[in-house]
Amino acid sequence: MKSISILAILLAPTAVFGLLDAKFKAKGRRYYGAIADPNTLSNTQVQTLLKTEFGAITPENSLKWDATEPSRGSFNFGNGDQTVNFATSNGRLVRGHTLVWHSQLPGWVSSITDKATLTTVLQNHVTTLVSRYRGKIYAWDVVNEIFDDSGNFRQSVFYKVLGETFVDIAFKAARAADPAAKLYINDYNLDGPGNKIDQLLALVNRLKSRGIPIDGIGSQAHLILGQVGGVQAQLVRLGATGLEVALTELDIRIPKDVTSAKLSQQQNDYATVTRACLAVSNCVGITVWGVSDRNSWVDSTFPTYDSPLLFDDNFAKKPAYNGVDGALN
Ligand code: G3I
């Protein structure tokens, strides 16, 4: 018996230690994921980390409207196909991101002013994307960031022309095109209390009462160092809807300059966020919004912040990695 346990420990490194996704699954969850696209997949170290550590891939940009339907009815799936094929050929789940978003939206859509045209365009876009990847996508972010920072409906072309029903139209078209895909509403700043999460939850209730096929709520979780204490309480509220919940775009950015003390704080913060998901039984997954600090949206959007991810510029594990790993052990 004793020698069997010693053997088990000796064999453990490949079976148990190291793989965030495997450890997360061992806790009964579906995936620990990251993002990719051809621009990062071209790096073999990124590919290696995606294969060893992560169980799901979200295409970072290649499935967005500007990439997939730059002009009406003319679809382009080159980058999307490449990313989805990388994921599925390596046995990874895919989160489809995103069908309806006010940003990275071509001008020809923003300039539509009549309901009938926008309804047709919306249905065609959703149906075409979801059908193309039918059976390959675990979950779609059907609508993204539809509330502004005050919790009001964002004044996108979709809301201005169609009102709240644009959400119904998008979810119904997605369900019809791939009945097996989980359909999510996704947004940011759901990490603390306030009108935004209140309004999102109110909408989810309205959608459910109207029979709209919604399966999940994605909380993006673009967080700031030392400000992660509210994540669990809000995730509990999202989970109380009975829908799946997921942290869909996690990163924790550090105010410059980065010091070893701040990296330790980031380790604690990543552990706190990981435990927050584990505390909510229907929190099915976590996706980090980048593999290494070398490729993060934070660099251009928040130049006074840095180093938001689990691996550093040279693809070495950061203390943040150990924060996630420790919380999963
Ligand atoms: O595709 C063009 C390319 O043709 C051009 O040469 C190049 C020159 O700058 O720009 C390319 O577009 C960039 C695009 O990413 C694709 O690489 C845009 O400039 C750049 O702004 C865009 O940034 C993306 C951002 O969304 C846009 O809003 C980030 O990579 C992406 O990480 C970020 O992701 C979002 C989620 O989708 C939604 N939640 C927030 C999150 C962070 O902003």
pLDDT tens track for 224-233:
999 999 999 9
Segment 108-129 shows an average pLDDT of 98
Segment 123-132 shows an average pLDDT of 99
Judge whether 249 counts as a catalytic residue: yes
Whole-angstrom CA distances from 46 to 41, 305, 329 are 6, 22, 24
Which has more pLDDT, 4 or 245? 245
Residue appearing with tokens 């579906």: 30
Sign of the alpha-carbon dihedral angle for 45, 290, 308, 15: negative
Burial group, residue 16, by CB count within 10 angstroms (0-12, 13-18, 19+): middle
**Cβ of residue 61 lying under 6 Å from some atom of ligand 1:** yes
For residue 10, name the pLDDT band (cuts at 50, 70, 90). Answer: very low
**Cβ of residue 168 lying under 6 Å from some atom of ligand 1:** no
- Check: CB of residue 129 under 8 Å from CB of residue 99: yes
Phi/psi at 96 (5° precision): -85, 125
**228 alpha carbon to ligand 1 midpoint, in Å?**
25
Indicate which atom in ligand 1 lies nearest the CA of residue 97. Answer: 37
Judge whether 69 counts as a catalytic residue: no
**324 alpha carbon to ligand 1 midpoint, in Å?**
27
**27 alpha carbon to ligand 1 midpoint, in Å?**
33
> Which residue among 66, 297, 298, 301 has the greatest number of ligand 1 atoms within 8 angstroms of its CB, and so is best to mutate?
297
Mean pLDDT over all residues of the chain? 95
**Cβ of residue 297 lying under 6 Å from some atom of ligand 1:** yes
pTM for the whole thing?
Answer: 0.94
Segment 202-221 shows an average pLDDT of 98
For residue 15, name the pLDDT band (cuts at 50, 70, 90). Answer: very low
**249 alpha carbon to ligand 1 midpoint, in Å?**
14
Burial group, residue 238, by CB count within 10 angstroms (0-12, 13-18, 19+): buried
**185 alpha carbon to ligand 1 midpoint, in Å?**
20
**Cβ of residue 220 lying under 6 Å from some atom of ligand 1:** yes
Residue 8 has a pLDDT of 45
Question: Using one digit for the tens of pLDDT, what is the confidence trace for 50-97?
Answer: 999 999 999 999 999 999 999 999 999 999 999 999 999 999 999 999
Burial group, residue 258, by CB count within 10 angstroms (0-12, 13-18, 19+): middle
Residue 94 has a pLDDT of 98
**Cβ of residue 187 lying under 6 Å from some atom of ligand 1:** no
Residue 18 has a pLDDT of 47
Whether the predicted pLDDT of 4 surpasses 50: no
As a whole number of Å, the CA-based R_g of the chain is 20
Could you tell me which residues are beta bridge partners of residue 58? 35
> How far, in Å, CA of 281 to CA of 238, rounded?
11
**Cβ of residue 329 lying under 6 Å from some atom of ligand 1:** no
**Cβ of residue 60 lying under 6 Å from some atom of ligand 1:** yes
**328 alpha carbon to ligand 1 midpoint, in Å?**
31
Residue 73 has a pLDDT of 98
| Token code pair at residue 9 | 């420990």
Whether the predicted pLDDT of 210 surpasses 60: yes
DSSP string spanning 174-222? HHHH-TTSEEEEEES--SS-SHHHHHHHHHHHHHHHTT----EEEE--E
> Which residue among 37, 60, 223, 252 has the greatest number of ligand 1 atoms within 8 angstroms of its CB, and so is best to mutate?
60
C-alpha 298 chain-centroid distance? 16
Whether the predicted pLDDT of 14 surpasses 70: no
Looking at 53, 60, 145, 244, which residue is catalytic?
A: 145
Residue 211 has a pLDDT of 98
Whether the predicted pLDDT of 2 surpasses 70: no
